[in-house]
Amino acid sequence: MIQSINSIPAFDIRQQYSTIESEVSAAVLEVLASGRYIGGPVVEGFEQQLAAYTGASHCVACNSGTDALYLALRAFNIGAGDEVITTPFTFIATSEVVSLAGATPVFVDIDATTFNFNLEQVAAAITPKTKAIIPVHLFGQPVDMTALMSLAEEHNLVVIEDCAQSTGASWDGKRVGSIGHVGCFSFYPTKNLGGCGDGGAITTNDSEIAKRMRVIKEHGQKNRYYYEEIGVNSRLDCIQAAILQIKLRYLDTWNNQRGQIAARYQQLLSQVPGIITPQELPGGVGVWNQYTIRVLDNKRDELRTKLQERGVNTMVYYPHPLHLQPVYENLGYKPGQLSVAEQVSQEVTSLPMFPELSEEQQDQVIYSLKDVIS
């Protein structure tokens, strides 16, 4: 469809690039000239910087957020016969890796105000087969990690934080990725810390687990050309690591800008009838990868169409909860079983959110939304 000149994208990564273009191109050219494209000091430097940033003692870089989650499960020997509790309201990667590792994802319902999984439901889903819990800090908003960690400790369970959408968020003063047993990050371009391609990393305070993940991500190689288990090939390349080193220095500034935009949406939209704005828990500081509202009375799709006619582009994360996806038919979930996740996936839409969104652009979003809804 034809978009007006004032069209506002849901996100815009070119604009951010233009603000750091000279730094990024110099760093990329330096890597190209060095002849070292895989491993070495640039990647190690980034690992150290991300570990320091999150407050975790170790960081292992890898190819993607999906791989990060997979490597974490493998490092804890989670596989056939094991159950892993997670949310059905997330990107497929979160549960896909559980299946890939040979274990069974167990989905529990979510909380409609935070979009994160409901901790009472998590507690109720624990069985003797449960080995791990994967909290997803969805849209940048941290899960209550204090309550989750005490539940996990009580039952001796591993906690693998899915931090793909929440780099920089914190719970009770601690950055996500440093609270659970491991934290898994994605540097997919639209994440808060996004590269110019694929990338991922795992943080942990457990040096044995960090070591084990390095073995698995290098084809299960224990010593050079000596293999004791089946591994994978999962690397962050030097060009991405060099770019991410630069971007990490701006991350807090960008996250603060997102926070200001979210606060303004909150201030100007929270009283609008027919929609529900997202709520933050008191112990958390979120980083607003998305600003996601709920549209009541089955009006979500109509609202999105009308907004688009006014040049305001929105997204839907996620239109179908994972427990009802065809790929998980074998798990036997029935419609109505995780009713909050099912209802919310019909209601949600994410408004334009990126650090460079201007006040005028945001005004246009807010004005259009109010106009459409009345």
Ligand X SMILES: *Cc1c(COP(=O)(O)O)cnc(C)c1O
Contacts to ligand X by CB under 6 A: 64-66, 90-91, 93-94, 136, 162, 164-165, 186, 188, 198, 200
- Nearest approach in angstroms of CB 27 to ligand X is 21
- When the beta carbons of 245 and 361 are compared against ligand X, the nearer one is 245
Instruction: Please give the residue whose beta carbon sits closest to ligand X in the complex.
Output: 65
Helix (H, G, I), strand (E, B) or coil at 113: coil
- Nearest approach in angstroms of CB 373 to ligand X is 28
Residue-level length of the chain: 374
- Nearest approach in angstroms of CB 167 to ligand X is 11
H-helix or E-strand spanning residue 210: helix 207-217
- When the beta carbons of 258 and 364 are compared against ligand X, the nearer one is 258
- Nearest approach in angstroms of CB 284 to ligand X is 16
CA distances from 183 to 249, 300, 374 (A): 20, 33, 43
Could you give the CA distance from residue 301 to residue 154 in angstroms, rounded to a whole number?
43
Which residues lie closer than 8 Å to 25 by C-beta, 6 or more apart?
none
Contact status, residue 161 vs residue 177, Cβ threshold 8 Å? yes
H-helix or E-strand spanning residue 226: strand 226-227
In which residue are the tokens 């590792």 written? 101
- When the beta carbons of 47 and 162 are compared against ligand X, the nearer one is 162
- When the beta carbons of 11 and 188 are compared against ligand X, the nearer one is 188
- When the beta carbons of 190 and 337 are compared against ligand X, the nearer one is 190
Biggest distance spanned by C-alpha atoms of the chain: 67
Which residues lie closer than 8 Å to 162 by C-beta, 6 or more apart?
65, 69, 86, 90, 94, 134, 135, 136, 137, 184
- Nearest approach in angstroms of CB 69 to ligand X is 6
| Closest listed residue to residue 172, CA positions, set 132, 142, 212 | 142
- When the beta carbons of 312 and 322 are compared against ligand X, the nearer one is 322
**Which phi and psi angles does 41 have, rounded to 5°?**
-65, -30
- Nearest approach in angstroms of CB 298 to ligand X is 26
| Closest listed residue to residue 57, CA positions, set 67, 42, 47 | 47
- When the beta carbons of 111 and 366 are compared against ligand X, the nearer one is 111
- Nearest approach in angstroms of CB 216 to ligand X is 16
